Amino acid sequence: MQTYVMLANFTDQGIRNVKEAHKRRDAFHEECAKHGGRIKDAYFTMGRYDVVAIIEAPNDSAMNTILYCLGSRGNLRTETLRAFTRQEAAEALAKML
């Protein structure tokens, strides 16, 4: 499984219906599972982003599908980062000439 950090902000629609955010989060958990992923953790945050989530997915293609499904609902705009574990980074560094 690959790890991703999702940074998100509510859209106008999303903040207008913010009281439903927990229901939407549950639906997002189900959407992730349907595509072989899972939300390891998610936080409502203060500052530049409204939501930060750590998500595992089998590959970039599955993560893209998950993000397209989330975005199509119109409640969040996301920026997603591929995260590398210490071991993955060490393996990449070991390949340097």
Please give the average per-residue pLDDT across 60-89, as a whole number: 95
**Structural domain that includes position 65:** 2-94
pLDDT value at residue 97 = 75
CA-CA distance, 10 to 89, in Å (whole number)?
32
Domain total in the chain: 1
Residue 49's CATH number: 3.30.70.920
What is the end-to-end Cα distance of the chain in Å, rounded?
Answer: 27
pTM: 0.88
Task: State pLDDT tens for residues 11-67.
Answer: 999 999 999 988 999 999 999 999 999 999 999 999 999 999 999 999 999 999 999
